[in-house]
Amino acid sequence: MTAAAPAETPAGTVARLRAAFRTGRTRDLAWRTDQLKRLRALLTEGGDELADALHADLGKSRKEAYRTEIDFTVREIDHTLERLAGWLEPEPAPVPDVLAGASAQTVLDPLGVVLVIAPWNYPVQLLLAPVAGALAAGNTVVAKPSELAPATSAALARLLPRHLDPDTVAVVEGAVPETTALLAERFDHVFYTGNGTVGRIVMRAAAEHLTPVTLELGGKSPAFVDRGTDLRTVASRLVSGKFLNTGQTCVAPDYVLTDPETAPALTDALAAAVEQRFGPDASASPEYGRIVNERHFDRLVKLLDSGRTVTGGAHDRATRYIAPTVLADVAPDAPVMREEIFGPILPVLTVDGLDEAVAFIDARDKPLALYAFTTDPAVR
């Protein structure tokens, strides 16, 4: 019997990737292009394996898995492959008078070892798109998938070493202890996507090494529906953006602001659009997903009482199902308005027109996205 090889320490992984970076091979355009093509092949050849994992973790339909994760990332890679050589061309840069006679260029230089920490809601694209960016930029990468999407994390840990050079891309699976241990190491860039509380932890850890960070965080993204808009179209678009991935999308419309005269017709149109998309019982729709885990399910169920239920409200803990829910008569300080909802609950609040909507939004944390539905060019 042979003993299993001891697991590599985070320090060992980073040292191995840094040694590969120092060989200089990741700088070549040919190497970068080859890595991107391999990553593309991972997505096309391993697409069904990833889609099965996404279904196991989030109940994502195959169509949604391809549209929002697998094909989405393939398109990002194609975009990069088409433009990479151009991006790498040195750009002439002006020089100040005091350096008259000199010439200058802007040259994009790889950083070294990049850490990518991904969340669970789009666990394929939010890991692999930044990995693609890091490889395109000539870096080596440590990829840390989210433990809250365990089937997808395991699928990525199987597929990445099969398709990419393990000395330049390493996968580290795990939760808080594993990520904390990784963050103690010195990286040359950290790319984190997830909630702001952990974003602060990541930034603090990176500060110890003066490592630059990119933080892709969340927030409450409002939608404003102006008077006189076509409510059927508005409702269909809101339902499509809100209930995609069961509301677990960073840029999903979090809440809706409209005037008191428009609100009743809008909430009726939203209820009709929900039924049109998912049928009378969304739990039977193959296109409707599930909440990622019981903690988030319990958190969301507590928010269901924040207003009058226009449609939805049904929920089942055993299957982590929460129906697409629209709430009316929601107060600005209701529980559903205190944090990013990140689930299938759409509160509709009333304001007296555009100025009040702007004041309402400005009084809160800066949103990640904002949607305005209007026919008035001045509002746009």
- C-alpha triplet 35, 41, 46: angle, nearest 5°: 130
Site track for ligand NAD across 237-256, x = CB under 6 A: -------------x------
In the chain, where do the E strands start and end?
Answer: 91-93, 104-106, 113-117, 140-144, 169-171, 189-193, 213-216, 222-225, 255-258, 308-311, 315-316, 321-322, 325-328, 345-350, 371-373
Tokens in use for 44?
């096309």
**222 sits near ligand NAD (criterion: CB under 6 A):** no
150 counts as binding ligand NAD under rule CB under 6 A: no
Of 64-72, 76-84, 94-102, 115-123, which segment contacts ligand NAD by CB under 6 A? 115-123
Query: Judged by CB under 6 A, does residue 191 bind ligand NAD?
Result: no
SS3 266: helix
Q: How many helices (H) and strands (E) does the chain have?
A: 13, 15
Determine, following the binding rule CB under 6 A, whether residue 180 of this chain makes contact with ligand NAD.
yes
CB 375 within 8 A of CB 226: yes
- Residue 118 touches ligand NAD, criterion: CB under 6 A: yes
Question: Exactly one of 216, 275, 287, 339 is catalytic; which is it?
Answer: 216
Q: Is 121 in the site for ligand NAD (CB under 6 A)?
A: yes
Task: Select from 175, 184, 331, 359 the one that contacts ligand NAD (CB under 6 A).
Answer: 175
CB of 339 to ligand NAD, least distance (A): 9
Q: How many residues bind ligand NAD (CB under 6 A)?
A: 26
Cα 197 to Cα 280, 281, 297, 323, 362, distances in angstroms? 38, 36, 20, 28, 22
> Could you identify the residue written with the tokens 């151009």?
86
The candidate with the shortest Cα–Cα distance to 202, out of 178, 179, 218, 219, is: 179
Report how far apart the first and last C-alpha atoms of the chain are (Å, whole number).
70
- The region of 73-81, 195-203, 253-261, 311-319 touching ligand NAD under the rule CB under 6 A is 195-203
Q: Does 130 bind ligand NAD (CB under 6 A)?
A: no
Interacting residues of 369 by C-beta distance below 8 A, sequence separation 6+? 221, 251
Annotation marks residue 216 as catalytic: yes
Using CB under 6 A as the binding rule, whether residue 339 contacts ligand NAD is answered as no
Q: Does position 184 bind ligand NAD by CB under 6 A?
A: no
Integer Cα distance of 320 and 289 in angstroms: 9
Provide the mask over 343-362, with x wherever binding to ligand NAD is found by CB under 6 A and - wherever it is not: --------------------
Q: Which stretch binds ligand NAD (CB under 6 A): 20-28, 144-152, 224-232, 281-289?
A: 144-152
Q: How far is the CB of 233 from ligand NAD (least distance, A)?
A: 26
Nearer to ligand NAD, 14 or 118 (CB): 118
Please tell me the distance from the alpha carbon of residue 380 to that of residue 376, in angstroms, as a whole number.
Answer: 7
Using the rule CB under 6 A, which residue among 43, 65, 117, 271 binds ligand NAD? Answer: 117
Determine, following the binding rule CB under 6 A, whether residue 119 of this chain makes contact with ligand NAD: yes
Output 298-305 pairs: Cβ under 8 A, ≥24 positions apart.
Answer: 299/343, 300/341, 300/342, 300/343, 300/344, 300/345, 302/335, 303/335, 303/336, 303/341, 303/343, 303/345, 304/345, 305/335
Asked if 156 is part of the footprint of ligand NAD (rule: CB under 6 A), the reply reads no
Residue 115 near residue 187 (C-beta atoms within 8 A)? yes
Residue nearest ligand NAD (C-beta atom): 218
Q: Does 193 engage in binding with ligand NAD (CB under 6 A)?
A: yes
Smallest separation, CB 255 to ligand NAD (Å): 14
342 near ligand NAD, rule: CB under 6 A = yes
Give the one residue of 133, 267, 340, 367 binding ligand NAD; rule: CB under 6 A.
Answer: 340
Residues 6+ apart with CB under 8 A from 158: 49
Interface with ligand NAD (CB under 6 A), residue from 181, 198, 334, 370 = 198
Q: Is 8 a catalytic residue?
A: no
CA-closest candidate to residue 82, choices 21, 132, 131, 24: 132
* Contact residues: ligand NAD, CB under 6 A: 117-121, 126, 144, 146-148, 175-176, 179-180, 193-195, 198, 201, 216-218, 250, 340, 342, 368
Instruction: Name the residues annotated as catalytic.
Output: 216, 250
